[in-house]
Amino acid sequence: MNMIVLSSDPAAHDASRRFRIKARGMLCAWLVMSSAANVAYADAQTAYTLLPPPSELYGDLFVAVQTQGVYPDQKTFVDAIPKIDPAQIVQAYHQQMSVPGFSLATFVAQYFTPPTDQVITPPPNQSLREHIDWLWPELTRLTTTANVPANSSLIPMPKQYVVPGGRFREGYYWDTYFTMLGLQEAGREDLVDDMLDNFAYLIDTIGHIPNGNRTYYVSRSQPPFFSYMVELAAHKEGGRVYQKYLPQLRREHDYWMQGADTLQPGGAVRNVVMMPDKTVLNRYWDERDTPRDESYSEDVATAKLVTNRPANEVYRDLRAAAESGWDFSSRWFGDNMTLATIRTTSIIPVDLNSLMFHLETTIAIGCGEARDFRCVGEFVGRAAKRAIGINRYLWNKNGYYGDYDWKLGQPRNNPSAAMLYPLFANVAWPERAHKTAETVEAILLKPGGLTTTMYNTTQQWDAPNGWAPLHWIAVQGLKRYGRSDLAQQIGTRFLADVNNVYNTQHKLVEKYIVEGSGTGGGGGGEYPLQDGFGWTNGVTLKLLDLYSPGQ
C-alpha cells in the first residue's frame, strides 16, 4: 500500500500513521482469507417504470389540493391511489374546476382512494418485550409489482420489510438499520436479509436508496447506513456478505460522491464539498429545489418568511434537511432557532461524514473478500483522508465533534447528539473521544436519556426530545472508547422513559421527552406524535438485552 501524506500538521500525520498501521493489519488478515463465492443479487421482480412524483403527475390539481387543505395531513394526498389514469383525472379537473358549485374535496373523493392509518390493538397485559415481538408482523409489509396499485406513489420492492408505523406507511432508509437491530435480536434474520436485499434492489434499479420507497422521495437519500446493515448481516452470516453486496456498496459510494472529480477548492456540487486545502467532505442535498410533495404548504409558508434569498434555495435546504433525517433541527438554522434561517447545504455534517468513513472502510473489507487489493488500497486511502478531514474540520475547540459551515469557513457552535457519531464509526481520536464524552455528560445527559440539542425551538429534532437511534449511536460509541459507565447511564435512563410511556399508554412511540417537568412521548415538528414504532422497537430490544436481560 502506498503511503498517504495529507498534511504538514504533526497531529494529522500521527493520525494518518495510526490509520495506516491499522489498515495494514486488516490487509494482512484479508490476505489469508479464502475467497468467498461471488453471490450476485438477483432481482426477482418484473420490470418497473418509476413514475414522476405526484406534484408532476397532477400539476395544478396537486397544488390546489395541498394549498386548500383538502386533507389535514399533506402526506395523505401524495399517498392516495388514483382510481383512473392520472392524465384522465387532470383532464377532468380542468373541465370541471370552473363549473359553478365545483367542490375540490368532492372531486378528490371521486377520483382518489386515500390511505388508511393502521389501528394497532395489542392483546392486554403484554410485557414490553412481548409487545415488541407482537408488533413485528403488525408492521411488516410486502409490496411487490404484483400488488402495488397502478399509478401509486409507492415504489415496489421484491421482499418483505418493516414500516415505522402511523403515517409512515412505507419503508425508510435510516430507520431500517435500527429496526434491523431488533429483528436480529428477535431471531428474525430472514427479515433482516429481506430488507437488505430490498435496498440492494433499490440501488440496482434507481441508483441509490431513496429517503423512502415513494416516488416523491427519490430526489434524495437519507443517512447512509447501508454499510452498517451489511456489517450487521455479516456478524451472523460471515464475511461472504461483504462480497455479496460489494457492487451495491460501491454504487452507494458513487451516488454520494457524484461530481467530486470536478470540484475546485472552495466549491461544492451535489453532496460533495472541496475545502480550501482540497479535502473532500460530504453534505446533505436534494436534486429538487421545489416544495416537498408531502409538506407542500408548510414549505411554501416557510419560504415566504425569507426575504434575503430566492425561494428555490430555501426549498433545497428544507429538502436537504429531510435527507439528513433531522427534519427539522437547530443544527441547520443560521440563528440556531428559526426554520426560516435554514442553511443545510452550507453545512458539513459530522454524522454524514462519519457514516461515509464507515462506508469506505466497509468497501475495503468487501474488496478484501473479493481479493481485489487495488480496490482495498483505494478505499483504505479514501477512508484515511476522510478521517483526517473529520478531525481537522469537524472538531470543535469547545470539546466535541460538530458540524462545520463551509460557506462561512467556521465551526457551528451548536452541540448536539450527533457529536457521538465519530465514536460510533471509530474515527474519533481517543483524546477527543474522551472530551466529547465529558461534554455529553455535562450538557446532553438528562433524566430521560440524551437530549438531541441544547435548543428548544419547537422543532422535533431539538430539546427536549430524545430519539432511539441517537441513544444507540451514543451507547455503542461510548462503549467503543471505554466509557461504558456513561453508555449505561444513557441507555438505562432512556429505557426507563420508554417503559414509563409503555406502562401508561401501552405503546412505543417515535420520540420521547427526556428533560423538563415530565417525560413521555415527544412533540414538535410538522405532524402529531406517531406510534408503532420501528426504530424505537429495535433499539429498545437491544438496550433491554444489554441492561435488563431478564425484563
**Catalytic residue set:** 327, 510
Distance CA 320, CA 83 (A): 33
222 is in an annotated binding site: yes
472 is in an annotated binding site: no
Instruction: Compute how many other C-beta atoms are within 10 angstroms of the C-beta atom of residue 525.
Output: 19
Whether residue 284 contacts residue 332, with contact meaning beta carbons closer than 8 Å, is answered with no
Cα 458 to chain centroid distance, Å, stands at 21
167 is in an annotated binding site: yes
Domain coordinates in residue numbering, the chain: 54-217, 415-551
Whether residue 408 contacts residue 415, with contact meaning beta carbons closer than 8 Å, is answered with no
Kindly give the confidence (pLDDT) of every residue in the chain, 551 residues in length, as a single tens digit, with 9 standing for 90 and above. Answer: 333 233 334 344 444 444 433 443 343 333 222 222 222 333 334 456 899 999 999 999 999 999 999 999 999 999 999 999 999 999 999 999 999 999 999 999 999 999 988 788 889 999 999 999 999 999 999 999 999 999 999 999 999 999 998 889 999 999 999 999 999 999 999 999 999 999 999 999 999 999 999 999 999 999 999 999 999 999 999 999 999 999 999 999 999 999 999 999 999 999 999 999 999 999 999 999 999 999 999 999 999 999 999 999 999 999 999 999 999 999 999 999 999 999 999 999 999 999 999 999 999 999 999 999 999 999 999 999 999 999 999 999 999 999 999 999 999 999 999 999 999 999 999 999 999 999 999 999 999 999 999 999 999 999 999 999 999 999 999 999 999 999 999 999 999 999 999 999 889 999 999 997 656 676 666 545 456 789 999 999 999 999 998 77
In the structure grid, which three cell numbers stand for residue 264, read together?
475546485
C-alpha distances (whole Å) from 312 to each of 62, 75, 161, 290, 316 are: 19, 21, 34, 6, 6
34 is in an annotated binding site: no
184 is in an annotated binding site: no
264 is in an annotated binding site: no
